[in-house]
Structure 1
Amino acid sequence: MNYSELEPLWYKDAVIYQLHVKSFFDSNDDGYGDFPGLMQKLDYLQELGVDTIWLLPFYPSPLRDDGYDIADYEGINPVYGDRKDFRNFVREAHNRGLKVITELVINHTSDQHPWFDASRKAPPGSSKRDFYVWSDTDTKYQDARIIFLDSEKSNWTWDPIAKQYYWHRFFHHQPDLNFDNPNVRRAIIKIMKFWLDLGVDGMRLDAIPYLIEREGTNCENLPDTHAILKEMRKVLDEEYPNRIFLAEANQWPTEVIQYFGNSDECHMAFHFPVMPRIYLAVHQEDRHPITEILRQTPDIPYDCQWAMFLRNHDELTLEMVTDDERDYMYNAYAHDPMMRINLGIRRRLAPLLDYSRDKIKLLNSILFSMPGTPIVYYGDEIGMGENIFLGDRHGVRTPMQWNGDRNAGFSKALFAKLYSAPIMDPVTGYQAINVEAQNLDPSSLLNWMRSVIKLRKQHKVFGRGTLEILYPENRKILAYKRSFEGETVLVVANLSRYPQSVSLDLPDYAGVTPIEMFGLVPFHPITEEKYTLTLAGHSFYWLQLATNKVSPFAETAPLALKSVESQSIYVVDTVSSINTLLTSPFKKILENRIIPQFIRGQRWFGKKSKNVTSTKVNDWIDLSASTGLQSGMLVLEIHYSDGEMDLYNMFVALEIESQDSDAQALPSKAPAIIAELTDKDRKAILYDALDNEKFNAGILSYITEDKRIRGQVGFVESFKLPAFEVISAKGELASPVKRVESEQSNSSIIYGNRFILKLFRHLEPGLNPDYEISRYLTETSPFSQVPAAAGVLGYTNPRLATLYTLGLLQEYVQNQGDAWSYTVAEFRRYYERCSTKATLLSKMTPPAVPLSELVNIEPPEEVFELLGVYIKDAAKLGARTAEMHIALGKPSDLTAFQPEPISRNELIDISSTMRYDVVKVFKLLEQKVRTAEPDLVNSIKSLLLYRPKVVDLLDRLATINEELTKIRCHGDYHLGQVLYSGGDFFILDFEGEPSKPLELRIAKQTPLKDVAGMVRSFSYASYASLFLFTHNRAEDLEAFLPWAKACEAWSSASFLKGYLQAMEGSSLVPSDRSDFFRALLPFMIDKAFYEIFYEVNNRPDWLRVPVSSVLEYLKAGAFYSEEY
């Protein structure tokens, strides 16, 4: 490992895994784990996500204290291996990016150490005798406490050979070294350098508060102890940069911080007092134990770090709690005296928490989100149990449970030879709880631990951020914020076993949409009011408090409710009505100041990148009589600096302060406020009328009246269509009337479970194709899988003799969301299944045949096992797509819908247009390749080499044998334009690509363009779900790419199979399969190159999706059997 290139503060972002070599894996079947065995399991640790391994003592030892009684500091206990094995282990760990921390037990040795043997035999006063602390009496240092009261009566023990007492702070067989002797300090530094030379990345300094003894003190935390640590640190920094010391000092935080010094002693130190208080807080269902100890924890130097843990190899120490707290902990967690040892509890994490998965996840969520570096004790990631009937602390040091085979898969030795029996009880025994079983279960604790570890590692805020504790009224809720370099994470944990609601004061984040970090799910936005959350029992949230910028992989975020504050309150002559307002001088202020600012914050305004030079209210129509509110529609003329002009509509309402109200009567309509007004008598607000339920209900009533309302220039007209009565006859209109918040270029209003009104905000002359096609498929050529067209709103400008479509009323289809969301969710579950069934990849990989042949192959049962019912759903969507095209392709008396053959010259024109667009994208890629990410450069270079072949394939469109037909098509067909409803699909949004002019969107074209759009959508869905699945495990992305390709291939083939079967006998597409795929390929390439153009300019991280797809398409025989 090149330590000079290592991030100096790497330990702040680390996740440490603590293990004992003897407990992990036995490679030679002698009953003991060893270094070769540990080396075989490094891949497991890498997959877990940890990046640092902390090894318990592995030195030669009589093992009376499980290795902390060291007999040779520079040796390896033979049962664990030898130095060569250790060097190999360190090398392999480093090759995987794993660091290694070992124990430097410097306070004491075993009484079997050669140093002690020499010391006890040397004459008093000699250098060898002074290697340890000797006395003629046992009365010195009486103020020092006895740590192990269970087994030791004194800190002095008589040695019959030396004929003196020797000092020991722990067991009597562990004599303390004498650090007043310079030879001892030199010897310890020599040992330190020995292991650092072997590649160790850090050292845990065991029991360092007790290095020095002084009369009249408690012999803990003495100044001379710190002088020794500074001496060791100086050597470390000078000769071994970027290695670390981890201090074990079981003291109060105000004393522990001394071991950081001025960043010249230890880099890290354990935070012992916080650990038992986490358990206290959960059992008491009160945050106080945690918040109080954190409040009392002093700040530490920036380059120092706390080490946090829930359990480890020792007892759950209760030294740093009050007597009352200790009694409570014993009663709550160690009712059986066998569970207690010294001043602590000898139990593992899972049994301490009654094996409750929710409590285990809750405590880990606190561990991984608190300030400090988290430490995971081996086996806790799978919920291993304990054996309290084993002596000392051996009950939490049993063999790792790898599988349900003999000896838990830890060793093939005879059971009697094992250093310890594995856990074998029916609840937590190795046959019930083991790595292999949990690997196969996507919802297992092990897989959850992998996700939380990887999520933490992606956000430096957890290891380096500041802490701000929140104090909501509900004391059962623990809440705090972590902040670092512009990122803030809100952690909210329910310490109660019952559901809880909490209200948090977050005024500084008003307008922000919190993102739940595990699923990238947007929560409702924060407002100036208290932010309310509801949590299930023992649950938690990690919420990223970023601005309303949602990951491209997440579902669409709801509309932010941040107040739009006016620069000022506008004074007008009167606020009596919409008409008086728009005929007053205020109209100029509205046009010049207010509207330009307001529209930039609206999602329906699609030209935010353009410079608006002026806006004008071209016309307004008073809708007050129809809606029962002072309201109207404005026709806005918006001019840009490039000379272009657009028309938009805006619905406004006026709310006037009540004359007889004692208090201000204006409601809070923060997201919709356009302007605040006042005259000499009262105040008013002008706001977006679509936020008012009464206004929206009035619009529906107006549509039913087939009525015309005149404005200043033109008029608005409404017509109900024949389907309106049919839909209305199904029952009463259900409440509520609701505006759809996730709107984009249009605005939509849902009327109970009967109707949905889509309002087209950008006005274009002519009939909107969504209205045209929806009505055609409702009345003329019925297709049941579109929402029926029930009514229409139009605006006419007589001066220009121009009609504009304002809105389309359709039947509301009960649904489970759009097909994009459904598909991404299903594909994400697919990847979760794949993660536990890696051996099925070969079965899942499609055979190496052209797509034209793959559609005829029945997928193997493994495809159905992993993709589930989605394979059949994709085929059904293909069939519905074909049925749509057949309905649109029937002979018609309407010229706009009459199918027409595509002439050879038209095909040449189509391929020429495609070629022009593709050449433009190739030029863009030539520039992009210079700045692309390294892993993308080779793909772009490969694609650039294919330029002649791409052009040739596009030109071949004109050589198709069978005649192609053009019809009215969807025009912008992808999974987001389809609703998933009860196992079936409804197709909607027939506007075409919004960026294209209307004349192109209503033009007839081959159905193959719709087919290509949907197949490309499957490609994007497979990758979007993969990005979601790996967002906490980015290092797994490459490994899952073959699964993504298989997912895309089988779902696309299933869709095409369903489409082709339903199109049997239709002349709309080539009946010959080879011709069909030969004709489809150019449209696939054209669509993919459009995506490349878009991604280069908008989402460079997604560029690999269309680039890799095109490279796949260009492989010889990818689409049809002939070479191309």
Structure 2
Amino acid sequence: MTRTESAVPLTAGESIHAAATGSEWWRDAVIYQVYPRSFADGNGDGMGDLPGVTARLGHLAQLGVDAVWLSPFYRSPQKDAGYDVADYRQIDPLFGTLADFDAMRSRAHELGLRVIVDLVPNHTSDQHVWFAEALAAAPGSAARERYMFRDGKGADGSEPPNNWQSIFGGPAWTRLAPAGHDGPAGPQWYLHLFDSSQPDLNWENEEVRAEFENVLRFWLDRGVDGFRVDVAHGMVKEPGLPDWAGKVAMVEGADAGQPGRAGATSSDGTPVSNTAADAAEAESGGSNEGPMFDQEGVHEIYRAWHKVLAEYDDERCLVAEAWVSPMSRLARYVRDDEMQQAFNFAFLTTQWDAAAIRRVVAESLETMDAVGAPTTWVLSNHDVVRHASRLGLDEVADGPLNGIGPEDPQPDATLGLRRARAASLLMLGLPGSAYVYQGEELGLPDHTTLPDEVRQDPAFFRTKGKEAGRDGCRIPLPWEADAPGLGFGASGETWLPQPEAYRALAADQQYGVAGSTFEMYRNALELRRAEGLGRGGLSWVTGYAGAADVIALRVAGVVVLSNLGTTPVVLPEGAEVLISSAPVAGDASGIAVPSDTTVWLRA
């Protein structure tokens, strides 16, 4: 091609983020999320499990990630995909045994992979031994004090203690059946910010605090390297549990509920069921507000947990799933005596827009730098539409995060994958820690045409089909294109059906194939480590600082440039492209970066 005058010098401006000085592994780690039931099936029952994870850890080592985070695998009735925990020290038989966990952790460490596990401290399952004891005990007893039991309002106690609503819709209180022990005004109520089968714990109770510190030690003694803390901004409620005029938002990270415990009743005295739970839909939102979230007392808990982790060697870490705003509130969770990381959901939810992305990157770095914590970056997980589908929608800014169904506008698969690759390469070029959701390294889209009869996400049933739910992003992974079930397990059974599009994207079709999404990720992670991008300083490229369609920055001597517009971006003469998300055209006299493409280069 002929070089034109449209080339912009790639000169770095003033630094907005200094290079990291701490040496801890979690400051720049690339962490891979495993959703166990959909990763790999080790026993052929169609459900992923821990032996399946162990068998496929070589894939992660080949990819080049630093750690693996596993979604819940604890003993559970599975009414909320494992986020309703009945025993925090046991593996659910669905996923294997403690011996299977030990084998998985041992193999991961042999391969140089750290292991992070999910912890769910806001609530337990109603099948936890503590809740059974609470139901059998009297009001005011030690067993009841572990949970949030309260007397009802009104002369006969038939009204809920306050007006709080569940994140899953309907009241956040369930009244015990008349056979239960009565309070002064009748059967007591218990709080559940999520499903009625998930009673909230009372974190003002010292026994609760001591128990979870012991749970931490149980898993730390088994060699885990950290914990991702579910609903980290919950747990502590405002004293007095005052009424609140606002609505609790259903946000990413909150798994939908199932039918309530037998014998429980709603505020009008009817049995809790899917129909009752559907009574009020939760609104989508970016944060949880109100007297039940982000209270000052949560920080006391994390300071205590920080001390527990400090008893162990090898830099153990805590990761906060905290939907709070503004970002300065999020930074409080990662002060130097609390947690080590917090998910950056603001980045995940940002539009495909250069100015918006620049703003969230700058704000994220500035805010986390102020407390000496690394910034995290994430584009997909088990609760949102995969970014290969989300970015293929006509209206990307307003694209759904809670599922795409057959009757919804369908993504452009080619555009979605192109943008997803560009977004991923941009994310991996940013300083800090990055999270990769299983299958995104293969370019997997959501399954957007699942028939109603195979859906399993309670969100679909709770909303009577108005919301497709998250089954589409939880489809079992494709490992081998020509194997039954695409190699998910020996039997060929899969707990959710795989779309035909997954066949061409199977892992064995991408290994060693130049230009495949897997090889792009693998090469990017190798370059990221070699160039020190995760620990590097960041400066915007001055010539593109206010560009409408281009993001350009320098990190550790490497230029990361993303063209989100429709016009090719011409690079200065002599620029050396290290990696690109799509083919770039040009010769020694000039290189053009096409639309929806990210490049890393030296210039």
Equivalent pairs counted in the alignment come to: 489
Tell me which residue corresponds to 1:91.
106
Matches within 5 A, 1:195-206: 195-206=219-230
Deviations 1:1001-1055 (A, max 9, x none): xxxxxxxxxxxxxxxxxxxxxxxxxxxxxxxxxxxxxxxxxxxxxxxxxxxxxxx
Report percent identity of matched pairs. 30
- The structural deviation recorded for 1:338 is 3.5
Q: Paired residue for 1:147, among 163, 167, 175?
A: 167
Higher helix fraction: Structure 1 or Structure 2? 1
Is 1:71–2:86 an aligned residue pair? Answer: yes
| 8 Å CA contact retained: 1:52, 1:99 | yes
Is 1:55–2:66 an aligned residue pair? Answer: no
CA distance in 2, matches of 1:352, 1:116: 48
Structure 2 SS opposite 1:178 = coil
CA distance in 2, matches of 1:461, 1:495: 22
CA distance in 2, matches of 1:413, 1:158: 45
Q: 1:203 to 1:301 in 2, by over 3 A?
A: farther
CA distance in 2, matches of 1:259, 1:524: 49
Amino acid at match of 1:382: L
Q: 1:386 to 1:346 in 2, by over 3 A?
A: farther
Q: Paired residue for 2:316, among 219, 230, 243?
A: 243
- The structural deviation recorded for 1:274 is 1.4
Structure 2 SS opposite 1:288 = helix
CA distance in 2, matches of 1:308, 1:462: 11
Matches within 5 A, 1:801-812: none
Q: 1:315 to 1:352 in 2, by over 3 A?
A: farther
Q: Paired residue for 1:227, among 288, 292, 300?
A: 300
Structure 1 SS opposite 2:342 = strand
Tell me which residue corresponds to 1:1060.
none
Structure 1 SS opposite 2:311 = helix
- The structural deviation recorded for 1:121 is 2.0
Structure 1 SS opposite 2:369 = coil
Structure 1 SS opposite 2:561 = strand
CA distance in 2, matches of 1:456, 1:462: 7
Q: Paired residue for 1:374, among 412, 434, 437?
A: 434
Q: 1:50 to 1:362 in 2, by over 3 A?
A: same
Structure 1 SS opposite 2:88 = coil
Q: Paired residue for 1:184, among 208, 223, 229?
A: 208
CA distance in 2, matches of 1:414, 1:438: 21
- The structural deviation recorded for 1:353 is 6.0
CA distance in 2, matches of 1:475, 1:493: 12
Tell me which residue corresponds to 1:260.
334
Matches within 5 A, 1:166-177: 166-177=190-201
Amino acid at match of 1:541: V
Structure 1 SS opposite 2:214 = helix
Tell me which residue corresponds to 2:361.
294
Tell me which residue corresponds to 1:752.
none
Is 1:156–2:173 an aligned residue pair? Answer: yes
Matches within 5 A, 1:557-636: none
| 8 Å CA contact retained: 1:371, 1:463 | yes
Tell me which residue corresponds to 2:537.
465
Q: 1:172 to 1:387 in 2, by over 3 A?
A: farther
Deviations 1:564-618 (A, max 9, x none): xxxxxxxxxxxxxxxxxxxxxxxxxxxxxxxxxxxxxxxxxxxxxxxxxxxxxxx
Deviations 1:114-162 (A, max 9, x none): 11111222211122111111122365564x66533xxx11222223246
| 8 Å CA contact retained: 2:294, 2:324 | no
- The structural deviation recorded for 1:358 is 2.5
Structure 2 SS opposite 1:79 = coil
Q: 1:43 to 1:251 in 2, by over 3 A?
A: same
- The structural deviation recorded for 1:387 is 2.9
- The structural deviation recorded for 1:453 is 1.5
CA distance in 2, matches of 1:302, 1:464: 17
Q: 1:240 to 1:539 in 2, by over 3 A?
A: same
Amino acid at match of 1:518: I
Q: TM-score, normalised by structure 2?
A: 0.74
Tell me which residue corresponds to 2:282.
none
Q: 1:346 to 1:61 in 2, by over 3 A?
A: farther
Q: Paired residue for 2:419, among 338, 346, 359?
A: 359
Deviations 1:1044-1068 (A, max 9, x none): xxxxxxxxxxxxxxxxxxxxxxxxx
Q: Paired residue for 1:383, among 436, 443, 449?
A: 443
Is 1:13–2:34 an aligned residue pair? Answer: no
Tell me which residue corresponds to 1:537.
595
Q: 1:443 to 1:466 in 2, by over 3 A?
A: closer
Structure 2 SS opposite 1:73 = strand
CA distance in 2, matches of 1:454, 1:66: 34
Q: 1:334 to 1:35 in 2, by over 3 A?
A: closer
Q: Paired residue for 1:424, among 499, 509, 525?
A: 499
Tell me which residue corresponds to 2:117.
102
Q: 1:156 to 1:333 in 2, by over 3 A?
A: closer
| 8 Å CA contact retained: 2:119, 2:228 | yes
Structure 1 SS opposite 2:99 = helix
| 8 Å CA contact retained: 1:477, 1:495 | yes
Amino acid at match of 1:449: Y
Q: 1:164 to 1:155 in 2, by over 3 A?
A: same
Q: 1:500 to 1:544 in 2, by over 3 A?
A: closer
CA distance in 2, matches of 1:317, 1:33: 20
Matches within 5 A, 1:889-908: none
- The structural deviation recorded for 1:370 is 2.1
Structure 2: stretches of 5+ with no match in the other structure: 1-21, 153-158, 182-186, 243-289, 388-392, 458-469
Q: TM-score, normalised by structure 1?
A: 0.41
| 8 Å CA contact retained: 1:257, 1:300 | no
- The structural deviation recorded for 1:79 is 2.4
CA distance in 2, matches of 1:385, 1:20: 16
Amino acid at match of 2:92: N
Amino acid at match of 1:314: D
Structure 2 SS opposite 1:110 = coil
Structure 1 SS opposite 2:33 = strand
Deviations 1:378-415 (A, max 9, x none): 11111223334324222211211011211111112263
| 8 Å CA contact retained: 1:251, 1:272 | no
Matches within 5 A, 1:636-1035: none
Deviations 1:319-359 (A, max 9, x none): xxxxxxx996575457986389xxxx999xxx686564431
Amino acid at match of 1:399: P
Structure 2 SS opposite 1:518 = strand
- The structural deviation recorded for 1:167 is 1.3
- The structural deviation recorded for 1:26 is 1.8
Structure 2 SS opposite 1:115 = helix
- The structural deviation recorded for 1:213 is 0.7
- The structural deviation recorded for 1:168 is 1.8
Structure 2 SS opposite 1:209 = coil
Q: Paired residue for 2:560, among 491, 503, 510?
A: 491
Structure 1: stretches of 5+ with no match in the other structure: 1-6, 319-325, 504-511, 526-531, 546-1124
Amino acid at match of 1:196: L
Q: Paired residue for 1:193, among 208, 217, 240?
A: 217
| 8 Å CA contact retained: 1:169, 1:210 | no
Tell me which residue corresponds to 1:743.
none
- The structural deviation recorded for 1:468 is 3.9
| 8 Å CA contact retained: 1:14, 1:50 | yes
Task: Name the Cα RMSD after superposition.
Answer: 3.3
Q: 1:330 to 1:71 in 2, by over 3 A?
A: farther
Q: Paired residue for 2:376, among 303, 307, 332?
A: 307
Tell me which residue corresponds to 2:96.
81
| 8 Å CA contact retained: 1:314, 1:346 | no
Q: 1:466 to 1:295 in 2, by over 3 A?
A: closer
Q: Paired residue for 1:269, among 342, 349, 354?
A: 342
Amino acid at match of 1:398: I
Structure 1 SS opposite 2:89 = coil
CA distance in 2, matches of 1:317, 1:414: 24
Amino acid at match of 1:444: S
- The structural deviation recorded for 1:61 is 1.0
CA distance in 2, matches of 1:57, 1:334: 21
Q: Paired residue for 2:471, among 361, 373, 394?
A: 394
| 8 Å CA contact retained: 1:51, 1:99 | yes
| 8 Å CA contact retained: 1:474, 1:502 | no
CA distance in 1, matches of 2:416, 2:473: 18
